[in-house]
Amino acid sequence: MTDDREYLAAGLAAGGLDPDDQRAAEELERTDPGFRAQADEYREALAGLVASGPPEPIGADLERSILAIPQDHPREKAQGGSPASPPDEPSLVGGEAGDHGARGPRKTGGEAGTQAENEAGAPVADLGERRRAGRGRGARTWAALGAAAAVIAIAALGITTVRAVGEREEAQQQLSATRAQAEQSNRLLTAPDLRSGELKVKGGGTVDVSYSTAERLMMVAPQQLASPGDDRSLQLWIIADGKAASAGLLAQRSAVFEPPEFEKGAVLGLTVEPAGGSPAPTSAPVGSLTL
């Protein structure tokens, strides 16, 4: 069933399903969230492949191998269990089993068919035509299965590639941010005017603060701060001359950042603001430190 679902999901994304399978796939997409998500993954992967440019042409060797698949499988068996002969060989239709030697030369399919019609009064199926039709169905079946397998494999590869690229880009962004933090930390720690202090917070906890006015850098390290709540954020401010300039949101981890320009005597204030912060303080500070 898993293979059938994958086939239907891939076919729904890529197209080419027969009407019955199309209806089954659409019904699954409408009623089954898991199947719908699987089909969406195939659509995203195929969209990425289309955006990447035209596909590589199928090589002649691969095309010959695909077209040769039906001929490489066992031949169909005729009614009665005996292997069917190739179309260009005589068909053994009519007569009783075991008496071919006494009857002399074997009769061809046409002769035997005529005799059977005369004796039974009913037409005899043309086994050569049946075999040719069977081979046609086999070719279509193998082509459909091959196409489905190719779509599934390509889509899976596309999904894996998309995920890998996304993860790589995220890792590169994290690495860049880490390098920037390391560079800023080095500048701050080697600054000739490096200073440090402790900002005490109402309700418990502190924030260790290191700063340099020359480098205009600041490091904050929260210690045992209580969460302000899901709908609130802690926000830092540089307060001077009766004005407050946002220095950014305070997370629950250490960070180095560039605050607004400040001079000795300015105040670093901490307030509780709506989630995401505010352009100006909306409440009294819960902690402050004179720089």
- Cα–Cα distance for residue pair 111/95, rounded to 1 Å: 12
- pLDDT per position as a tens digit, 69-111: 544 444 444 444 444 444 444 333 333 444 444 444 444 444 4
Terminus-to-terminus CA distance in the chain, angstroms? 68
Averaged over 168-185, what is the pLDDT?
76
Residue 12 to residue 43: CA distance in whole angstroms: 9
Confidence (pLDDT) at 27: 92
Read off the pLDDT of each residue in 211-238 and give the average, rounded to a whole number.
Answer: 90
* 272 or 58, greater pLDDT: 272
Query: Could you tell me which residue, 98 or 239, shows the higher pLDDT?
Result: 239
In this structure, the number of other CB atoms found within 10 A of the CB of residue 76 comes to 14
pLDDT bracket for residue 266 (50, 70, 90): very high
218 CB-near residues (< 8 Å, 6+ apart): 188, 209, 210, 211, 212, 247, 256, 257, 258, 259, 268
For position 65, what pLDDT does the model report? 52
pLDDT at residue 166 is higher than 80: no
CA 29, distance to chain mean position in Å, is 17
The predicted pLDDT at position 161 comes to 63
Contact criterion met (CB below 8 Å) for 9 and 38: yes
The whole-model pTM stands at 0.43
d(CA 12, CA 36): 10
The pLDDT value recorded for residue 4 is: 74
Q: Cβ distance 203 to 226 under 8 Å?
A: yes
Sign of CA dihedral 195, 200, 201, 206: positive
The CATH number of 195-290 is 2.60.40
Band (227; pLDDT cuts 50, 70, 90): confident
Domain boundaries, the chain: 1-89+126-190, 195-290
Burial class of residue 234, CB neighbours in 10 A (0-12, 13-18, 19+): buried
The band of 187, judged by pLDDT with boundaries at 50, 70 and 90, is: confident
Per residue in 138-160, pLDDT tens? 444 445 555 555 655 665 666 66
Q: Is the pLDDT of residue 17 over 90?
A: no
